[in-house]
């Protein structure tokens, strides 16, 4: 698995961030596990699909109406 961290401070009462991200990846056939944390959200994807997932999320970020912060910060291997 590889970890992708979203660089957005998501509020606990916010709606739709993880659904939007998971939906984007699901449409591309990329399985993921979403982990909502206190300061950032994390996505775990199969290592072989991590580069593709990162590219899709960067595209989603650019297409986002908000686009006010860089969402994707890193993609780290996890074993």
CA 17-35-15 angle, to 5 degrees, is 25
Q: Tell me what pLDDT residue 38 has.
A: 78
Q: What is the pTM of this model?
A: 0.76
Local confidence band at 79 (pLDDT 50, 70, 90 cut-offs): very low
Local confidence band at 68 (pLDDT 50, 70, 90 cut-offs): very low
Determine the CATH number of domain 2-71. Answer: 3.30.2130.10
Average pLDDT of the chain is: 82
CA proximity to 5, closest of 25, 31, 34: 34
Domain locations in the chain as residue ranges: 2-71
CA distance 54 to 74: 9
**Number of other CB atoms surrounding residue 20 within 10 Å:** 12
Specify the 3-state DSSP secondary structure of 74.
strand
């Amino acid at each position: 698995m590889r970890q992708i961290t979203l660089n957005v401070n998501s509020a606990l009462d916010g709606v739709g961030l993880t659904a939007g991200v998971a939906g984007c990846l699901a449409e591309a056939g990329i399985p993921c596990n979403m982990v909502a944390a206190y300061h950032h959200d994390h996505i775990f994807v199969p290592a072989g699909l991590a580069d593709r997932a990162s590219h899709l999320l960067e595209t989603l970020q650019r297409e986002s109406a908000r686009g006010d912060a860089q969402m994707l910060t890193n993609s780290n291997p996890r074993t």
